[in-house]
Amino acid sequence: MNAPAQSQTIPAFLADTIARRGDEQALGFVRAGELHWRTWREVADEAALLAARIQDAGLVPGDRVAHVSENRYEWIITDLAIHLAGAVHVPIHITLSDEQIATQVADSGARLVVVSSAERAANFAGQLDKRTAVWIHDEQPIAVGGRLAGAQGQPQAIADADWHAANASDLATILYTSGTTGRPRGVMLSHGNLASNAAATAELFGAGPDQSRLCILPLSHIYARTCDLYTWVYVGAQLVLGETRETLARDCQLARPTALNAVPFLYQRIAEKLRGGGATDESAALREFFGGRMEWLTSGGAPLAPDVERWYADQGLPILAGYGLTESSPVISMSTPTSHRFGSVGRVLTDVDVRIADDGEILCRGQNVMLGYWRDDVATAAAMNDGWLHTGDLGHLDADGFLFIRGRKKELIVLSTGKKVVPTQVENLLTVSPLIEQAIVFGDGQPYLIALIVPSGCTPAARGLATSESFTAEISRCLQSAAHEEQVRQFALLDRPFSIERGEMTAKLSLCRNTIAKNFSQQIARLYEFASSGINHEGTKNTKQSVQS
C-alpha cells in the first residue's frame, strides 16, 4: 500500500485496490432500513460510467463540479467519477441556505451542479448562471450494469490510464469553510494533499482490509471524506453509509462495524443514554449499542469532554481523539489503539511537522497542507508563512510528542481583569451535564463570564429549572474544578437549540460565536444589565445568584 509520493492520487489508490480486491464487498449503504452492498468492481464501473458522462457534457480537467447532497451511495460514485474525469469536486453542505449555496457555486465557477433531489435544487437553481448545468441524483439514479470492460476483464476506469493520469500537484477539490468566524473561503486541496493524508492516517492507525467502518458524518466535510472515504479506498476495507444520523443505533445493528468516526457531541449523547438506561453492565450495553464488533472509536472536529473520555475508557472502549483542519486535509495528529494519552489529540503524523509559536499557536507543514484559498491571495498569505500553516489553534507538545489543544486563538476571551479564558474548556465542562444540551460562554472585555444554555430536550420542564436552585447548583457542580475566572456569573436558558440552518453551527457542529452573539444579542446584554443592577436573571435582587467559585 506504499505508493510513491508522485503517484499518490485517489484514482491511483482506487486502481490498486481494484487490482487486489475487485470482486470483494466494498461499499454498503442503508436505504429504507435495508443494507445493500456493492463490490469494488461495481463501484469502479459506475464511477467510470459517470465520469464518461461528465466528459461527454464537455467538461475538461480543471473544470469545477459543485455537489449538493446528503450522504448517499451516489455521493461516493460522484466523487470518484469527478476524480476520474480530472474535474474539481466542490462539495457544498446541503444544510446551507439557498443563497449560500448559490453564492458558493458562483464563486467556484462550477459548470455543473449535481443535486440530490429536484426539491432541494428548486430554489437555488434559479439563482445560478444560465450556462450552469444541473443534474439530479433522484432523476438519474446510478444502477449497476453496463460494465466498461478493459484489459484482463477490469473496468475501463482502471484499465485506461487516461482515467487516473492526474498528478499529485493537481487541484482535486475546493471546500468552502468559514470555521467558526469570518466569511467562507474556498480551501484548495490537491490530489497529493488528500491521498498522502489518507495514506499516512491509515498507516499510523494500523487500519487493514478486514476493517468495516460505518460513516455517519457528512461527506461534504473533510473529516469524513479523508478519514472514512479515502482511507477506505487506500486500504481496500469495507465502508457502510448510515441512512441518517438519527438511525445510528439501528444502522450499527445492521452493519456491525469495527470502527466509527464521530464528533464528541454524539459520543456524549450515547453515554448519557446508556448511563441513564439502567443497564447493570454498562460496558456490555455500550458494545451492544455499536453492534457487538466495535474495536475503534475515533473523534475529531471539537474538544472531547474529560468526563466523556474517562467513561468510555472505563468501559474498555476508549475514544481515540485526533486533530486537524480543512486546510491540512485534515489530519495533523491522531491517537491510535497503541498510542494515546488522556486529554491529548495524539501524536503528529509521520509526514507532518508541527511547531508551537511563541504565542502558543500550532504551526504545521507537510504534504497535507493546502495549495491555498481559491482566488484569495491575501487570505492565503495570511495563513501561510515560510511554508508553515498557521492553524489558529493554541496548544502544546509534551515531552513524549503528544499534542494537547487549548482552544482557538481568535476565540480566547480576555476579561476586563486581564485574565484569559479558553471558552471551549468551560463549555465542555457544562455540557457534561445531562441537563445541558449546548452551552456557549461570553465575556470579552467584561469582568466575568455569562452563558447561554440550551437545556436537554428544550422541554418546558427543563426550562423551568432556570428558576430553581437545582439548575444553578448543576452549573456549580459542572464548574467545581474550574478556575475563578472560568466561573459563570449569569446565564440564560434558551427555548431552542443552536442550528446549522441559522448559521450558528458549522457542518461539524462547532459553535459559530459571532453569529450566536448577534442572534442572541439582547439576551447577552440583559445578562450584564442584571448583574450591573444587582438583579439576577430571575428578576430578584441577588448579585451572586449564579455560579460562584
Going by the DSSP 8-state scheme, the letter that residue 226 receives in this structure is I
Flag the least confident range among 305-314, 397-406, 502-511.
502-511
Residue 184 has pLDDT above 90, yes or no: no
User: For residue 412, what pLDDT band results from cuts at 50, 70 and 90?
Assistant: confident
Residue 414 has pLDDT above 90, yes or no: no
Report yes or no: 456 and 437 within 8 Å, Cβ to Cβ: yes
Residue 145 has pLDDT above 90, yes or no: no
Query: How much is the pLDDT for 179?
Result: 52
Name residue 161's amino acid: A
The side-by-side arrangement of strands in the sheet containing 133-136 is 133-136, 112-115, 64-68, 88-92, 171-177, 185-190, 372-373
Tell me the average pLDDT of the chain. 87
The 10 Å Cβ neighbour count of residue 388 is 18
**CATH 3.30.300.30 for domain 413-533:** yes
pLDDT digits (tens, 9 = 90+) for 75-104: 999 999 999 999 999 999 998 889 989 999
Residue 223 has pLDDT above 70, yes or no: yes
pLDDT digits (tens, 9 = 90+) for 122-142: 989 999 999 999 999 988 765
pLDDT digits (tens, 9 = 90+) for 362-394: 999 999 999 999 999 999 999 998 889 999 999
Query: How much is the pLDDT for 420?
Result: 84
User: For residue 543, what pLDDT band results from cuts at 50, 70 and 90?
Assistant: very low
Cell of 352: 507532518
Report yes or no: 233 and 49 within 8 Å, Cβ to Cβ: no
User: For residue 178, what pLDDT band results from cuts at 50, 70 and 90?
Assistant: low
How far from 97 is each of 69, 150, 228, CA to CA, in Å? 13, 43, 26
Flag the least confident range among 121-125, 158-162, 208-212, 272-276.
158-162
How far from 311 is each of 92, 305, 308, 456, CA to CA, in Å? 35, 10, 5, 20
pLDDT digits (tens, 9 = 90+) for 468-524: 567 788 899 999 988 899 999 999 899 899 988 888 987 767 788 889 999 999 999
Cα 488 from Cα 486, distance rounded (Å) = 7
Query: Residue ranges of the domains in the chain?
Result: 5-397, 413-533
Name residue 130's amino acid: K
Cα 238 from Cα 231, distance rounded (Å) = 10
Cα 20 from Cα 519, distance rounded (Å) = 53
Query: How much is the pLDDT for 182?
Result: 55
**CATH 3.30.2290.10 for domain 5-397:** no
Residue 35 has pLDDT above 90, yes or no: yes
Using DSSP's 3-state secondary structure scheme, residue 94 falls into coil
Residue 399 has pLDDT above 90, yes or no: yes
Q: What is the mean pLDDT of residues 50-77?
A: 95
